[in-house]
Structure 1
Amino acid sequence: MSDLGSGEEGSEEDESDDALAFLEFIARSAPRSEYDRLMARAERSGADEDRMRRLERFNRLALTAQSMIEYRRDREAELAALVDAAHEFVAARRGKDLLESIARRARLLLKLDVSYVGLHEEDRPGTVVLSADGNAVKVAESYRLPADGGLGAMVRTCRAPFWTPDYLGDNSFTHVEAVDDIVRAEGLRAVLAVPLCAGGEPMGVLYVADRQVRHLTPNEVTLLCSLADLAAVAIERNRLVEELHDTIGQLRQDIGEARTALARTRRSADLQSHLVTQVMDRRGADSLLATAAEALGGGAGLCSPLGRPLAEYGTLRPVAPTELRAACRRAAETGRPTSVAPGVWTVPLLPGGNAGFLLTDLGPDADHTAVPLLPMVARTLALHLRVQHDDSPKAQSHQEFFDDLIGAPRSPTLLRERALMFSLSFRRPHVVLVADGPRGTSPRLEASGADYAKELGGLCSVRDGAVVLLLPGDDPVAVAQTAAPELTDRAGHPVTVGVAGPASTVDGIADAHREAAKCLETLRALGGDGGTACASDLGFLGMLLAEENDVPGYIRTTIGPVVDYDTHRFTDLVPTLRVYLESGRSPTRAAETLRVHPNTVSRRLERIGVLLGEDWQSPERVLDIQLALRLYQVRSALSSQPASETRAVLGSLRE
């Protein structure tokens, strides 16, 4: 029994020693050869079969444990390298420094020979190499890689990494001669290309290459993809920072220009207010010139239409008569301030120069900040001359004055003054009515219109075979619906009325008259004798006839409730309405286009019916709705364009 006990104890000691030996191997990361030597010694020493099986099991477990430790150690090193790279990317202040850092980190991360960073351009195909690292002498920076072949084309198309152990010998992708020449000249074999993406959108390709045939592991590909993700975020951040710096610089410049413009505008407004006050106080031209000269910081004077000096205040340097006349002719042609000599400017009082010229001497060393004020000073002097000329008003009849309002363009100031003579106040709006009978105007209709206008404090005239009335009111439809039956009763025959307005200024009366006349002509052409109509009553025809082509008003009147519903509730009724009409009013086809269920389209159409009324699908309303939708779509598209392009498009639409 004692021999048996000692044998068991010896076996346990051998097992413990064997386990400790393998633990020591694991602890000091012993090479595989030491494991093999331990197994060989045990076999030479005559170890029994049980011990050999135990040693093989220990050997297998120890190697597995050591492999896991090494794997985790490698992963920690890779993560540390990625963290260091991220810190380096964030610290880069310039775009070039960032790209160089990305190329260097990519090459070192996989211990390869060469790396390239290529970025896409929005307006041109291909990828531009902006940075390279390693012994890369054949690919210069700004070299454009073709977009129709190579690994880069596959990456750009699939947005996934691609690699090859031997580029020139791999026929699994499309080769491009230009890229093959570079690979051949550099002596490259293994190539890995991964996408650079920011926000899901590709911005470029990160390449790494080796001059030996090499089979990359999935872990290496994943590692470079992680670096590429960090690099893409850093590139996008750097781009946004640069854009922000540019925007801040532009804003500072704009603020400076706005402050300068505001100061100039305040200066102009103060000077204009002072000059107009003097005009209203019937001060003379000398007083106006003195005020202008002091504000401009120089001398000021008046010249005749032929360029002959008439009056001056302050110091005006002598100017050759021929030069002065030549400058006045140029100013009359352009209507803008024209230089006579350094610091000496002339500007016409009125377009064409028939009223004379303002002559100013700002000094030979003066800047041009006061030049924009000169047209305003000139117009004020012209106003002074006009007031002097009109100080003795002539009596005119109401009809003559109304003819001036709706006829050839006249001075708004003069018309307003004459309006006061006839107790016609434009502090309240007025509407214009154009009326005629079945056979045009008649003496009874003319007399009835004159009496009716006089009763309401308006004006009446006969123009182009129709009776024209100017009546107070801010609702043209209500005024016309009240006036038409009254005029019909007084004239003894049906009266057809076109109406427009309201107009709150004298210079808006002529526009309202033209619009009302067009409405009358259209109403008669449509067989609406005896009725009334304004532009809004005629649907899209009224919008086309209106002087200002009120597109927003037409859209608001026709589909405004639907647009407002979408705006406040973030729904898609407007697109649904447009697609439904374009699909021949088929809910099924509209649902296919919108990629929603037909029931969804039906529910939206029910909501549209509630907003627009039950008869919104009638033929006459569908035409208006389709036009309003098209105008709304065009206006929405124009809102993202530059202002110059938007004005050009709107101008073409109005034509």
Structure 2
Amino acid sequence: MAQNDSGTAGSSGDGELTSYRLRRERELSSLYQTARSLTALREVDEVLRSIVRHAHELIGSDFVYLSLLDAEGYLTLKASAGTISSEFSSARVPPGRGLGGRVLEDKAPFWVSNYRQAQALPHDPTFDLLVPREGLTALLGVPLLVGEEAIGALFAADRTERPFEKDEVALFSAFASHAAVALNNARLYEQTRVSLRRLEDAYRTIEEQVATLERAAAVHEALTHVVLTGGGPGDIAHLLVEQLQGTVTIQDRDDRVLAVRPHGEAGEDGEEDLGRRLRDEARGTGRCVSARGRDGAHRSVIAARAGGSHFGFLCLTREAAPQPADVRMLERSAQIMGLLILMRDARVEAEERVRGELLMELMSPSPLHPAQRDRALSRGVDVDHLDTLVVVECPERSAADIVRQLKPFSSAWSGLAGEYLGRATMLLRAGDENDLPRTLHDSLRRALGAPALVVCDRITGQERSRSHALALRCLKVLRALGETDRGAGTQQYEMYALVFDPDRADDLDRFLTDSLGPLLEYDRRRSTRLVATAAAYFAHSGNLSQTARALHVHLNTLLKRLDRIGVLLGEDWRSADSALRLHLALRLHELRAAVDGPAPG
């Protein structure tokens, strides 16, 4: 019996050992297969899900979850299998708290058969609120180690109280070691992939920068070519449209459009207020400014400047907003545009200086030297055929501005324009042009945008300086007559020629002495105002009441003055012929005072 008993006991022990070995082989085989499957994964999230799924199957507990250390040292749940509560998936335990804190501190497995009753553990109140909802009771935790560094912990939990066997702990720990390696590999793979993406992005950025630099170099070369070949704003606008698309508009310092590309398209598109605001801001800041209009198009404006001077604006209108490289291209183009305008102005200024010198020489009474004639002919001016002198006056514009507007007319009529004695003056070959004063006035009025007086005088012989003096005196007469916006020839005011023709000053003196002598002498000796009274009388068509009000005197005073005039000039001074002569004399006397100042005495 003893043997039998002994034999029976031995057979039972061998069977248990065999069963244990078979179970261990299955567990190890499962562990091996699981480890192989984990190493094949690359995505971090996928590895996390696979770890908890395989751990759940391997250990056979109610649920498994995995937590990783974040930047603040908290254990944050990243994946779980078998859990019920949705709140549990957001579990986050502070450093040094709970079973996970113990596992990370010791870098070794640790388990409790009843977590809620484990008083030796420093509990986290927030996590403890989640424990009943999930029914967590028995809990096993093993560290996830990468070398000597703990990156997190893997947990196996049961909803009933029970111990964890050494074999379970060892198996779970072995699995966690493989899982940590797989997770670390996935992290390294993710970091490598991110680094690769960054390198690819950097390479693309470098390629884009190289392309931008190549395009900028090509544009710079093209702009240089424009400068060297004497190109203009239209060439710059065409080049920018080729590179940036859209519509490019170039304006001068007076907001006049110099070029628009493509041809025929408006630069403002009905956005005048926006364009004006952008131009003001661009001129004030010196930078490129952009805004989106009501039509959805983006408008970018930059001021063209050179040598501290403002020369105009460059505007790009297109659907897409400008990129930094586009802004730099616009800025460089604006600089080139300013340089071109500066060079053009320098050429124009030099030409104007030469033409101004020619004008001064032609206005001189001295005979012209043959070299001066040749210099004039080289500029298309035949001095022997200049038959008209023009003087322009515009109180709202300087003489230089007026001369700038006169240039096209002087070229059209084969003449010269410039300043002479501080006045805008022009010599023309008008020929049979009879309506020249009105034609010039209408055109200049539009160009200047302000009222102007234009006086033309036909030159006789070489008396250009005399014609200039006549034109200036005629301007004074026009102003005295109340004219502020008119074109006229000196011959149109022949009735006032006695006033503005210095050669007829003696005639004017004799006429005024014969007509007004007694009144002028009486006023001089007695400080009276008989001349002014007679002028007011005729100005109000002989109406006594209106005349008295105009002179601010009583009617009786006026009647006494009129009687005195009758004594001095004769009782018939108000007859038709006498009145006409006296009225004309009074008017000429007033005009001479306006042109030359009051007569002496």
TM-score, structure 2 as length reference: 0.49
Report which of the two structures shows the higher radius of gyration computed on alpha carbons.
2
